Every structure is written in structure tokens, then in C-alpha cells.
Structure 1
Amino acid sequence: MDKTLGYLLETLSNYSDHHVIPQRMMNKLENTQYNSEGTFIRELNEEELIFLNKVLPDEIKYALESQDFKRVQELNEVYELLP
């Protein structure tokens, strides 16, 4: 799995107990071999894109506050691809 998508999968797991949307995205990541985060993003539906647009800024901020700069970079790569 692409390293960036691995970080995204880990982030989605934080929400999967309470939301169906991240569970769906996790299933896609676990069951499909994506060449890049761009390929994954292009396959998301509107509901999934809205979810990521909502949670990624907070996740990036948290990673920044925790000084986990690698995580900031990886999650930001995904966020920049969102419409």
C-alpha cells in the first residue's frame, strides 16, 4: 500500500466505530491496490469527499500540534487532492 494511503487508513480507523463512511473507505483501501492517493481520491463518491474535507483539516492540525511532521505531510498530500 502507498505510504500516504497507509496514513489515511490509520486516520479513518479513528472514525470507523461511529460512521459508515470511513468504514466504506477503509474497505476500499484494504481490498483494492491503488497506485497513488490520486487514484484513490478519484474513486470516492461525493459523500466520502465531503467527509474527508471535514476531518482532514482537524487531523492535520492535531498532527502538527503533536509535532508529527511526517503525518502532517502525508495527510496534507491527500487533502490537497480533494476537490
Structure 2
Amino acid sequence: MDHTLDYLREPLSNYMENEMCEQIVKKIEINSYTGEGEFVKDLDEEEMAYLNGVLEQELNYAKSVQHDNRVKELTEVYELLL
């Protein structure tokens, strides 16, 4: 699995009570995506909208704690959603 998707799956685990989040995490775990581009292409519009909101929050948090590598990896997915 792509390292970027590992970085994505980690913060998503904080939102697993949400059905949409659970659906997205299952996609990551079940499919063998070669990269974040392939993953984003597999998302429907509702999943993309949900993930966009989560990533905004997680990027703000990662920036506030100065976790530069996480910011870089999550930004790669976030930019593909736009």
C-alpha cells in the first residue's frame, strides 16, 4: 500500500463512528491501490466531500503540531480532491 494512504488511514480511524468514514477506510483496506490518485478516482462524490472536510481538519491539526511529513502526505490526497 502507498505510504500516503497509510497516513490517510491513521487520522480516519478517529472518525470511525461515522458510516461514511467506515466506508472509505474499507475501500483503502480492501483494494490494493498503487497510489493516492487511483484511490481518489475510486471515490464517489459523497465520499470525496466527506474526505475533503476531514482532511481540512487533519491538515490544520498536523500544521499546528508541526508534523511536516503528515502535512505533506495528507496534502497530496487533499489536492487531488479539489
Q: TM-score range by the shorter chain?
A: over 0.9
1: CA distance, partners of 2:62 / 2:54: 12
Matched AA of 2:13: S
Q: Aligned to 2:15, what secondary structure does the other structure show? A: coil
Quick check: 1:46 aligned with 2:60? no
Q: Aligned to 1:14, what secondary structure does the other structure show? A: helix
1:6 deviates by 0.3
- TM-score where L is the length of structure 1: 0.94
Identity, in percent, stands at: 48
> Any gaps of 5 or more consecutive residues in structure 2?
none
2: CA distance, partners of 1:54 / 1:32: 23
1: CA distance, partners of 2:45 / 2:33: 19
Structure 1 stretches of 4+ moved >4 Å: none
> Any gaps of 5 or more consecutive residues in structure 1?
none
2: CA distance, partners of 1:53 / 1:34: 19
1:12 maps to: 12
Per-residue CA shift, 1:2-28, capped at 9, x if unaligned? 0000011111111012x1011011111
2: CA distance, partners of 1:31 / 1:78: 18
Matched AA of 1:59: E
2: CA distance, partners of 1:2 / 1:9: 11
1:60 deviates by 0.4
Q: Which has the higher helix share?
A: 2
